[in-house]
Chains A and B, each alone.
Chain A
Amino acid sequence: MSKATEPVYESLRLAESLDEAVKSTFEVILGERPTCCGSVDDSSLCPGMVGIIAVIGDVSWSLSLAFSSETAVRVAKKFAGFEIEYDSADMADVVGELANVLAGDVVARLDELGIKAALSLPTVARVSDLNLSEPGAVESLRLKYSTSEGTFLVGLAVGKSIKNSLG
Chain B
Amino acid sequence: MEVCQLKVRALVVDDSRVMRNMVMQELRRSGLADFEFTEAENGADALKKFHPSKIDIVFIDWNMPKMSGIEFVRKVRSTWKNEQTPLVMITSEKTVGKAEEALDSAGANAFISKPFTAEMLDRKIAPLIKDIEARGSSRGGFFSRLVK
Q: Which residues of A contact B (CB under 8 A)?
A: 25, 28-29, 79-82, 84, 89-90, 93-94, 96-97, 100-101, 103-105, 107-108, 111, 119, 121
Contacts and interface: CB of A to CB of B under 8 A. Distances in A.
A111 to B, nearest CB: 4
B17 A121 contact: no
A107 B91 CA distance: 13
Which secondary structure dominates where chain A touches chain B?
helix
A96 B116 CA distance: 16
B75 interface: no
B89 to A, nearest CB: 12
B94 A97 contact: no
Contacts of A89: 17
A81 B25 contact: yes
Interface of B: 16-19, 21-22, 25-26, 63, 65, 91-97, 113-117
A34 to B, nearest CB: 14
A80 B116 CA distance: 11
Contact of B113 (A82, A94, A97, A104): A104
Given A90-B17, A104-B91, 9 more contacts: A80-B18, A81-B22, A93-B19, A94-B16, A96-B16, A97-B114, A103-B92, A111-B97, A121-B65
Contacts of B115: 25, 28-29, 79, 101
Given A119-B92, A119-B93, A104 B114 contact: yes
Contacts of B95: 107-108, 111
Nearest to A97: B16
10 contacts: A25-B115, A29-B115, A80-B21, A81-B22, A97-B92, A100-B92, A104-B94, A104-B113, A119-B63, A119-B92
